[in-house]
Copies of this chain bind each other. A is one copy, B any other.
């Protein structure tokens, strides 16, 4: 009774095109729910393909997830400072610290969920590859911050550590502003702009001084 032929049952896309389509679908789902709560079946259905195809393109679920996270930390969301401050290294065109912070806040504000997923992607556990991706992203950001603040001359391990510490501070302050609402945007800005310079001035000397005890 069924008509034997009524056109193609599925369309055959170009390799990269299909891959991008699946990746986009996965990104949507993974930014909404954590790794374990999203099944490959669901991704496949949402993308309009079968589960097997995901395997064909990405190998396994975890690899697909890694790809999504890479995308998230690689583009504007976390890497604003990269995009912004990389390139013009000359003192003139270099944006000020205030500008960098302001831009970063704007980007995060408009991409809240993506940002939250990205920074809490350690979610899936202390996986080596995942850890590396996130850590490298933060490290890169730290480098940019050091440059913008003009700390390049004294780029010691201690300075890097301090800037990374500030990163932790910044993430938490951002949550206070966007999630818990205990800070206004203006207040958060005051903190983010002022904290690092203050710590560099007041604490860095002391830290470098106690360097001798190094083992």
Contacts and interface: CB of A to CB of B under 8 A. Distances in A.
A158 interface: yes
A1 to B, nearest CB: 46
A182 B169 contact: no
19 contacts: A33-B125, A120-B122, A158-B187, A161-B180, A161-B183, A164-B172, A164-B173, A164-B175, A165-B169, A165-B172, A165-B195, A168-B169, A168-B170, A168-B173, A183-B207, A190-B203, A191-B199, A191-B203, A195-B199
Interface stretch (A9-17, A34-42, A81-89, A104-112): A34-42
A206 B186 CA distance: 10
Interface of A: 33-37, 116, 120, 122-127, 157-158, 160-162, 164-173, 175-176, 180, 182-184, 186-187, 190-191, 194-195, 198-199, 202-203, 206-207, 210-211, 213-215
A165 B190 contact: no
A202 B199 CA distance: 10
